[in-house]
Homo-oligomer: A and B are copies of this chain.
Amino acid sequence: MTDLLDFVADLPLVDHHCHGVRTGGVDRDGFERMLTEADTVSPLGTSLFDSLIGLAVRERCAPILDLPKHAPADDYLARRAELGSREVNRRFLRGTGSTDYLLDGGFLPESLTATTDFAELADARAHDIVRLEQVAEDVIRGTSAAGFAEDFAAELDRRTGNAVGVKSIAAYRVGLELSGERPVPGEVEAAAGRWLAGIEAGEPVRLADEVLHRHLVWAGIDRRLPVQFHVGYGDSDVDLHRCDPLRLTGLLRATRDAGVPILLLHNYPFHRNAAYLAQVFEHVFVDVGLATHNAGFRAPAILAETLELAPFGKLLFSTDAFGLAELYHLGTALFRQGLSDFLRTALAADALSEADALRLARLAGHENAARIYRLERK
């Protein structure tokens, strides 16, 4: 780990996948539970501060709150409470150097800032990504099996009016083994019927049906909206062995002619597999968000592995930050660290020129995202 290259330190970033920030206060237990993908803290395993992300908070976030580097966790949380969440959120969000945030508002929206508030808080542009499953789950309760496809389409049109993309969380519900074939209307109707029957029998309104997840993805493609997929690393609800992006191969083959970008999010620990897909499929893009801040000072290693096969024109930046303002800061700072370390290593090996290094940093930092999501038109 070395000092940031100047042009990486100053690089404008587009955070193409994150969530809203939490506005209330938080105690130590709550902070630890939001820090990683663990949702429980237990004395069996000691504190989550004793992990690379916890160390990164104390190293990189403490100074933003006027504390010395490596301040103890309790001091950090006391100072955080003293400043108040609004001030804490402003300091972290306004210091990222991100010009645009693409917000997935589909998870726990009631406890997080919505897009407009987020933009004000961060003093930046914020754009909506529509979570496909949330739309379907809102629609299903007021429709019939026969009416689902049309009602879903209408609601999706309405919600994506100002959106720059959509997102699928099929990984969390059925895994990524989605068939390449677009479901025919009869299949969609039958699947909607099964879902409705389950709801009537008392099951929660939770979409988990391979046909319908697939139908939703095609709905995004038909609207020529970039489609994000949750891939790989997530919390304990995910069956990670079903979330290898290679399982999407059939769907990627089927969708390549449409020319609509497919964005594979997170990907860790399958980031090399995702990078392969980004090389061989011209419409596939990758990031290593979420892993970036979790891995702390190891983040550069993960980015370097990803770039073995992923072309620079296919790499995007995201934090996947959720709730805690620290995560936007860490995700951004550690992405800059990883990019800078990678380019410094390449420069030291004379594997590229300085002009190339600058150009490639811009691609990954913001140009790819601006091109794919057509942000300049917004």
Contacts and interface: CB of A to CB of B under 8 A. Distances in A.
Interface of A: 1, 36-42, 44-48, 50-52, 54-56, 58-59, 69-70, 233, 235-236, 239-241, 244, 246-247, 249-250, 252-253, 256, 259, 261, 268-269, 272-273, 276, 278-283, 285, 291, 294-298, 301-302, 304-305, 307-314, 345-346, 348-353, 356, 359-360, 363, 368, 371-372
Contact of A249 (B41, B239, B276, B281): B239
A162 to B, nearest CB: 23
A283 B44 contact: yes
A209 to B, nearest CB: 20
A170 B208 CA distance: 30
Most B-side CB within 10 Å, residue of A40, A272, A282, A360: A282
B313 A276 contact: no
Contacts of A52: 307-308, 351
A241 to B, nearest CB: 4
Contacts of A280: 36-39, 235-236
Chain copies in the assembled complex? 3
Contacts of A241: 244, 246-247, 249, 273
A21 to B, nearest CB: 22
Most B-side CB within 10 Å, residue of A70, A244, A301, A309: A309
Nearest to A360: B50
A368 B51 CA distance: 14
A298 B59 CA distance: 28
A345 to B, nearest CB: 8
Given A52-B308, A249-B240, A372 B44 contact: yes
Closest 5 CB pairs of A and B: A46-B313, A42-B282, A241-B246, A51-B311, A1-B349
A51 B276 CA distance: 12
B356 A55 contact: yes
Given A70-B352, A280-B37, A296-B351, A312 B46 contact: yes
Nearest to A60: B351
20 contacts: A1-B345, A37-B280, A38-B281, A40-B282, A42-B282, A44-B283, A47-B311, A51-B311, A54-B311, A55-B351, A59-B352, A69-B353, A70-B352, A236-B281, A239-B250, A240-B276, A241-B244, A291-B309, A297-B349, A298-B304
A54 B309 CA distance: 11
Nearest to A248: B241
A353 to B, nearest CB: 4
A158 to B, nearest CB: 27
A241 B309 CA distance: 17
Contacts of A352: 55, 58-59, 70
A308 B279 contact: no
B249 A314 contact: no
Contacts of A54: 311
